[in-house]
Amino acid sequence: MGRHILHVDQNCFYASVEMQRHPELRDKPLAVCGSQEERHGIVLAANYVAKPFGVKTGMAVWQAKQRCPHLVTLPPDMGEYIRFSQMAREIFEDYTDQIEPFGLDESWLDITGSVGMFGSPMTIAREISRRIKFELGITCSIGVSDNKITAKLGSDYKKPDAITRIERDNYRELVYPLPVEDLLYVGPATSKKLRGLGIGTIGRLAQAPTDTLTRKLGKMGMVLQTFALGLDPSPVRKSGHIPNIKSVGNSATTPRDMTCDSDVELMLLLLAESVASRMRELASRCTVVEVSVRDVELNSFCRQRKLETPTCSSDEIARTAYGLFRQNYRWVRPLRSIGVRGAGLVEATAGTQLSFYPEDARRDKWERIDGAVDHLRQRYGYRSIQRARLLADPLLGAINPKDDHTVHPVGYFGG
């Protein structure tokens, strides 16, 4: 027997929440934007009045205002969006306990076991849609299918405030003509490769020879074909289930461009402190350090290095990241943002191979210093203790990467 999966997507979520509480803005073009002072000045969400003007998520605020001069912009209120997300979840919980959130505004629901009690999947979808409208005052679009990928295609198929059922009987008719880019995990790079093979639609991907796809895209080729055929077997992860964390990363768009090695060194120290502190909260150490940068023209790259011994010392992470950076960047252009990630996490309590050499004693010392700093900050606040190095540049040094960062994008594969 097939499963019944719903994908609920709350349309233009941030903008819709703002429209709900500001009735006077409902018929005006509206965008929720990151703060311009700190240069995160991009559109996070736009409403359906603004979209026809060409205002898109991810666009810089000045670009959006150019396209739509009377655009109303509001700063984001994450607390309120989380509250709405939680209230939506409470509605879902009346129908199933198998709820997998994908960001704040999307969720998959496995209602296979609920149809006996609440009626057909379409009935449940209609009820959820009606309740979201009544209880939250915003709209959602819902995809109804037998797997997660197709359910997501369904919720994207018609927006806003719509329900689309895609099952075996109408699958080819609805899905095959869609562009491949509509599939989850077909981003710009994959799209280019697929289009190079003459594959422009999901139907073409479904019917392409598997070995060609594997040759071009590796094992992702096969996965994507399974998606295109509507045969994604992945389960809806149960609510409350926390997957094993495999990496911890932090990045920041700096208040001013970074122009020299010392700017980068300072930022890496700052970010490494936050990454190391989060790893210690998870009682883990990393075995791989990764650094990623993005320049002012938005070109980016990322490099990683495996460590001799697992670490959660901020100093070691920062030094490794800085070494990687020095090796790989020649200052063609100033940098706009930078990130550090600790990957290949292992449990801190697991046995580690000790070395004969004195650097281990040093590492242990550093980790204990970091631990002490954690304690101090927990009791007296983030700014109670700081590296003197950070005071050298008040603008960059003032960022608090650990607490100021907001929502992490989540990976589909539970990575």
Partner 1 sequence: MEEREKRYVPVIVRFEADGKLRPLEIEFDQAHRYPVDKILDVRRAACQSVGGVGDRYTCRIQGKESYLWFEKGRWFVAAKRQ
Interface size with partner 1, residues (CB under 8 A): 13
From 27-35, 81-89, 143-151, 384-392, span contacting partner 1 (CB under 8 A) = 81-89
Contacts with partner 1, 371-400, as mask; x by CB under 8 A: ------------------------------
Binding-site member from 2, 35, 86, 87 for partner 1 (CB under 8 A):
87
From 133-141, 148-156, 304-312, 335-343, span contacting partner 1 (CB under 8 A) = 133-141
From 116-124, 131-139, 261-269, 328-336, span contacting partner 1 (CB under 8 A) = 131-139
Instruction: Give whichever of 138 and 399 is closer to partner 1, judged by the CB atom.
Output: 138
Q: How far is the CB of 299 from partner 1 (least distance, A)?
A: 42
Considering only residues 2 through 41, tell me which ones interact with partner 1, judged by CB under 8 A: 20-23
Catalytic residue among 100, 106, 273, 367: 106
Q: How far is the CB of 78 from partner 1 (least distance, A)?
A: 14
Sign, CA torsion 142/145/146/147:
negative
Q: How far is the CB of 20 from partner 1 (least distance, A)?
A: 6
Q: How far is the CB of 274 from partner 1 (least distance, A)?
A: 30
Q: How far is the CB of 24 from partner 1 (least distance, A)?
A: 9
Binding-site member from 27, 93, 94, 135 for partner 1 (CB under 8 A):
135
Q: How far is the CB of 366 from partner 1 (least distance, A)?
A: 44
Residue 106 annotated as catalytic: yes
Instruction: Give whichever of 133 and 168 is closer to partner 1, judged by the CB atom.
Output: 133
Residue 145 tokens, joined: 């299918």
Residue 78 binding partner 1, by CB under 8 A: no
Binding-site member from 134, 356, 357, 413 for partner 1 (CB under 8 A):
134
The catalytic residues are 106
Chain residues binding partner 1 by CB under 8 A are: 20-23, 83-84, 87, 133-138
